[in-house]
Structure 1
């Protein structure tokens, strides 16, 4: 393989993904399970080298631009948050990391912070920068579903404000660790149960705790199947998120950034409210955002 001009790295809590980048875009991609959650500080450089050693060249420092939890307080080195309102990406704010291997020139992307209400993001700012690189005229709201979903107001190329919802984490806790886990059999999906739950949660969000327990009760006495139970839990949680984030999406242009099937579920829930949403794959957004940080124009 031709040696890359630079290396893009998406380094999260549970994964590490690196892209060899050339003038035309991605030359190669490699992944590992060496996420921030499993690494001591001195283990970051060896973990990166295990993936990209074959892309490096003696006598040349290869630029490496990394985003995500690698720049957290528990990561390789802290990349301090930048305060909104601001552009999602500022190449001048990248944080250089000292390395033992002279072939590496590593720089970390800072996250974003908001004072009131208090909120932070780390990694999503790169996806936002990527979306604005690919959609330079976008002015509206970006939704990034995930473990901690983000709703982000964007105007004139800047992040104006944002709000985080723990929807994905709540789904994992309730489906795996609560009494509802007994109803989560199988791995299918019931679209009708999802749609009904979204509507139910949006119309009466204050009843969420009671509506959640009906999943358990109906699985015991009314034959509620595992597919319907899983879809209902997802619909109830996404529904209360939409109820709380209504000031973001109501009357706005909305775009979803992330991977299927989660973004499809959000798109369906929004469509039920008469809100169409365009979609951008999370991986494409990350690479475009890291290219912006590196001062490159993505292919």
Structure 2
């Protein structure tokens, strides 16, 4: 079977998988730390010994952004996640046949873009071709995408992951959120509170610092409450996407656990599919596209 390389190239991480062997390597040379002309060298540094002749490399993620290796223009909705084909990249090494998966964009009912998640969606549809419902893709910028008849109809981005990171490292709350503990009971209570009263979010945040100062609230409980408040506010904002719908969650183990618990508390039973596996399935589906 012909060897090829699947690449998930984000802002902070470059991850490559040799196919069909499924050997995976990663480096910290994401798009955010590379100069415009440094992408080919970074790729060869990681996988150069895999290149024995002409090799197709299919990449997704921020590598296709305006600041990436080559801009892969967004495809407009409604669209199949791989319907726009691939963007070919000019390389200095003639052995490299590099193609990038374009992202998706929408202008109505609100402006939004995704880059990288469309490949995970392609993987979800490869796993569940008849799926009609919502794909929840939690991460730094969580996506809620409506899928129907093999197309992305609309989507909504919520900056929950970035807000959590910013609040827990760059505000006064950082003193009360040490460690990485998580407890489900206070998390779900906070989800319910924020979902029913999202307008109180900003006020509820400082309570985390006050509770620490006044009675030494455990940091794991504080982190759980913060996560619950932010995800609860997110569920309030995205209610039209998930209410009464079939939902698939594709994310890291930790974020998937949190979103699954939050949605189950609302009476849903989401289907869980691992993010790395769906990305690889999407890149595999893209491999033979022009």
Question: What is the TM-score normalised by the length of structure 1?
Answer: 0.94
Q: How many residues align?
A: 288
Deviation at 1:4, TM superposition (A): 5.5
Which residue of the other structure, out of 203, 223, 229, is the alignment partner of 1:230?
A: 223
**1:62–1:105 contact (8 Å) kept in structure 2:** yes
CA distance in 1, matches of 2:247, 2:179: 32
CA distance in 2, matches of 1:187, 1:205: 25
Q: C-alpha deviations, 1:262-299, integer Å up to 9, x for none? A: 11100000000001101111100111000111139xxx
Which residue of the other structure, out of 32, 40, 50, is the alignment partner of 1:45?
A: 40
- Secondary structure of 1:74's partner? coil
Deviation at 1:219, TM superposition (A): 0.9
Considering only aligned residues, what root-mean-square deviation do their CA atoms show, in Å? Answer: 1.2
Q: Which runs of 4+ in 1 moved over 3 A?
A: none
Deviation at 1:192, TM superposition (A): 1.5
Deviation at 1:223, TM superposition (A): 2.4
CA distance in 1, matches of 2:242, 2:147: 12
Shifted more, 160-169 versus 93-102: the winner is 93-102
Q: Does 1:110 align with 2:102?
A: yes
- Correspondence for 1:86: 79
CA distance in 2, matches of 1:121, 1:156: 20
Q: C-alpha deviations, 1:82-120, integer Å up to 9, x for none? A: 001010113x62111111111100011100000020000
Deviation at 1:233, TM superposition (A): 0.3
CA distance in 2, matches of 1:174, 1:285: 30
- Correspondence for 1:17: 15
- Correspondence for 1:30: 25
Which residue of the other structure, out of 78, 88, 92, is the alignment partner of 1:100?
A: 92
CA distance in 2, matches of 1:279, 1:27: 22
- Correspondence for 1:277: 270
**1:4–1:27 contact (8 Å) kept in structure 2:** no
- Correspondence for 2:191: 198
Q: Which runs of structure 2 are paired with 1:163-178 in the superposition (5 Å)?
A: 163-178=156-171
- Correspondence for 1:255: 248
